[in-house]
Amino acid sequence: EVFGAHDIRYFFYIGDNNSMSTAARLNAQAAEQGYELRGIGIPKTIDNDITRTDHTPGYGSAIKYVATTVREMALDNEAVGQGDYVSILEVMGRNSGWIAAGASLCKRRDKPYDPPHLIYLPEVAFSEQKFVEDVQRVLQRERYCVIVVGEGLVDADGNYVSMSSSSIDAFGNVQLGGSGDYLKELVQKNLNVSARSCKLGIAQRTATHCASQTDADEAYLAGQNAVIAAVVNGKSGKMVTLQRGESDTYVCETGLAELSEVSEGTKRIPAEWINDDGVSMNYPFVKYALPLIQGEIDVAFENGLPAYAKLRQLSVEKRLGVYAL
């Protein structure tokens, strides 16, 4: 109805899984009502969990920032650590571990013992006992231990083992906020060594000062091809996809998938990209992810800080009255 009042005929919806399914529903509704609309979805999420596309714009920049941060934190830990020291970084990713896995890119080639020493993914069932053994093993070898964990930690039964907000459980125990604090508690309780946890939060989805040029180029490409698809080729009900070329050298092209077929489900990391130890990634993952972080955006700094453009927010005049959903 709003579209009709403003004679809106092209609709580009940029976003995550939920946005894609909203776009699909909107398109279906327009078709039902005989309203001519060309609706195209454009994937964009640092979570990298949308199906039908090789990867999503946003992911490359997020893991470039996270891997950079882990490399820097690890240098600090290695330098400061005169005794056992455990450092935990909590990153985003509740249902899939793509971002946590991306931290593995800061290991140097053929240096499997480089930090991050342990990566915990929702794709791998979490066991407290194995966790404690993992940390002990690393501390014995390195004297310090860098851990990366996503927001979601799931046990063998598929239940979250850490709570999203603080509360007291049925046994009267304090439940800490996130998975990072949860692991920190486990370390302190079981190993009697000092541990710190950090949580990058939304900084990891906004760190343009550390963005990937490849990612930025592909985001532009995706938007450009959405407009071409709708305006030039008259397509509708599609989502733009990023497709990786077959050659050994990384090439990225765009394609189109049916919006209705882009599942609301989550694309997870293939099991065969995770090493048997359950806490590190193997070469196929590195081969997949490394091209996505190549190149540095040339951010303009002004007076010591990145200067970002501010859009003026111009509103069109409303043509409909108040409505209730």
Length of the chain in terms of residues written: 325
Question: 257, 38 in Cβ contact below 8 A?
Answer: no
How far CA 93 is from CA of 205, 244, 319, in Å, comes to: 12, 23, 40
Q: To the nearest whole angstrom, how small is the minimum distance from the Cβ of residue 149 to a copy of itself?
A: 14
Q: CA nearest 209: which of 59, 44, 64?
A: 64
Question: Can residue 158 be called a binding residue for a copy of itself (CB under 8 A)?
Answer: no
Both structure tokens of 17: 């899984």
Question: Can residue 112 be called a binding residue for a copy of itself (CB under 8 A)?
Answer: no
Q: How far is CA 40 from the centre of its chain?
A: 22
Task: Output the CA torsion sign for 107, 111, 114, 117.
Answer: positive
Residues annotated as catalytic are 47
Question: Can residue 4 be called a binding residue for a copy of itself (CB under 8 A)?
Answer: no
Q: To the nearest whole angstrom, how small is the minimum distance from the Cβ of residue 239 to a copy of itself?
A: 21
- Judged by beta carbon, residue 156 or residue 300, the one nearer a copy of itself is 300
Find the helix or strand (DSSP H, E) in which 76 lies. Answer: helix 59-80
Q: To the nearest whole angstrom, how small is the minimum distance from the Cβ of residue 74 to a copy of itself?
A: 9
Task: Output the CA torsion sign for 207, 208, 213, 215.
Answer: positive
In this structure, what DSSP letter does residue 257 have? E
Q: To the nearest whole angstrom, how small is the minimum distance from the Cβ of residue 209 to a copy of itself?
A: 5
What mask, x for binding a copy of itself by CB under 8 A, covers residues 285 to 314?
-----x--xxxx----x-xxxx-x------
Of residues 15-74, those binding a copy of itself (CB under 8 A): 64, 67-69, 71-73
Pairing of strands 194-199, 301-302: unpaired
- Judged by beta carbon, residue 139 or residue 289, the one nearer a copy of itself is 289
Question: Can residue 179 be called a binding residue for a copy of itself (CB under 8 A)?
Answer: no
Question: Can residue 207 be called a binding residue for a copy of itself (CB under 8 A)?
Answer: yes
Could you count the other beta carbons within 10 Å of the beta carbon of residue 273? Answer: 17
Q: CA nearest 101: which of 121, 72, 124?
A: 121
Q: To the nearest whole angstrom, how small is the minimum distance from the Cβ of residue 200 to a copy of itself?
A: 6
Question: Distance between CA atoms of 124 and 127, rounded to whole angstroms?
Answer: 9
Question: Can residue 217 be called a binding residue for a copy of itself (CB under 8 A)?
Answer: no
Question: Can residue 82 be called a binding residue for a copy of itself (CB under 8 A)?
Answer: no
Both structure tokens of 266: 């989550």
Question: Can residue 244 be called a binding residue for a copy of itself (CB under 8 A)?
Answer: no
What mask, x for binding a copy of itself by CB under 8 A, covers residues 185 to 204?
x----------xxxxxxxx-
- Judged by beta carbon, residue 156 or residue 316, the one nearer a copy of itself is 316
Interface with a copy of itself (CB under 8 A), residue from 189, 209, 287, 319: 209
Q: What angle do CA 147, 150, 151 make, to 5 degrees?
A: 125
Question: Can residue 104 be called a binding residue for a copy of itself (CB under 8 A)?
Answer: no
Question: Distance between CA atoms of 318 and 325, rounded to whole angstroms?
Answer: 17
For a copy of itself, the binding residues (CB under 8 A) are 64, 67-69, 71-73, 75-77, 87, 89, 105-106, 166-168, 174, 176-177, 181, 185, 196-203, 205-210, 212, 290, 293-296, 301, 303-306, 308
